Every structure is written in C-alpha cells, then in structure tokens.
Amino acid sequence: QVQLVESGGGLVQAGGSLRLSCAASGRTFSSRAMAWFRGAPGKERQIVATIKWSLTHTYYTSSVKGRFTISGDSTKNTVDLQMNSLDPQDTGVYYCAAVDANYYHVKSEYIQTTDYDYWGQGVQVTVSS
C-alpha cells in the first residue's frame, strides 16, 4: 500500500551535520503527521521529532532541541530531518513514520510508535568521535 523510503544516512564525525529525507510512495494518502524515530541496536525505537501538519506544530525530544530541525511538505508526504552538532549518542537507525489522516485517530501529540500507521525500513546514522 504505502511505502516510506528514507535517505541521507551515513557516517559523520562528531560536531558535523547530516540531513535525512523521507518520501512516500505507493497508494496515495493524506498524512496527519510525520515523524522521525531512532533506535539503538537491540532497543525499541523512540521519538526524535515529529511534525503535525495542523499549524505545522513540531515536537522534539529534549536531547535534540536546538540541534535538529524537522520540516516537510504535507502535500507530498515528505519529511526531512536536519541534524547539526551531531554527537556519538545520536548514533542509531532512524525511521520515518506517518499517521494516516483517514484513520481518525486525532491527538494533540504523536510521539509513540503506536501512533503511526506507516514506517520506513530505517537508515543508519553513525556519529564517530
């Protein structure tokens, strides 16, 4: 049905920058929100940043505030994550996710994995010292 594809991952030194991109393909849909999650090896993924298209409201986990910026285009179901001042603790697999607007699960915040309907396969980000 819907596929989300991430790109832009890779290896970067601490203090550097990286930009991740995500684009939807397959069945056309309208998203209510999109997000980036990340997971360390063997651990459950956790929210990094999310953008709710209504008022373009954004949310960032505390550890990335001031360093990461989420942006996107609701008409294209695309979302980017600009990551600056990267730290080795930012290392992990980053996943793009989307909330389908037609599933009628309206919330003020979308920060849990269970909030999201579609997921990308993930892209590796490795930050070295």
pLDDT in tens, 32-54: 999 999 998 778 999 999 999 98
pLDDT in tens, 82-121: 999 999 999 999 999 999 999 877 888 899 999 999 999 9
**How high is the pLDDT of residue 55?**
87
Cα Rg of the chain (Å, integer):
14
Q: Would the pLDDT of 127 be above 80? A: yes
Residues contacting 4, CB < 8 A, separation 6+: 22, 23, 24, 25, 96, 97, 98, 118, 119, 120
Answer yes or no: is pLDDT of 2 > 90.
Answer: yes
Give the per-residue pLDDT at 43: 85
- At 76, is the pLDDT very low, low, confident or very high (cuts 50, 70, 90)? very high
CB 72 within 8 A of CB 34: yes
Distance separating alpha carbons of residues 23 and 117, to the nearest angstrom = 15
> Taken in order 85, 119, 55, 74, is the CA torsion positive or negative?
positive
Residue whose C-alpha is closest to residue 42's, from 93, 5, 98:
93
pLDDT of res. 106:
81
The mean pLDDT value of the chain amounts to 95
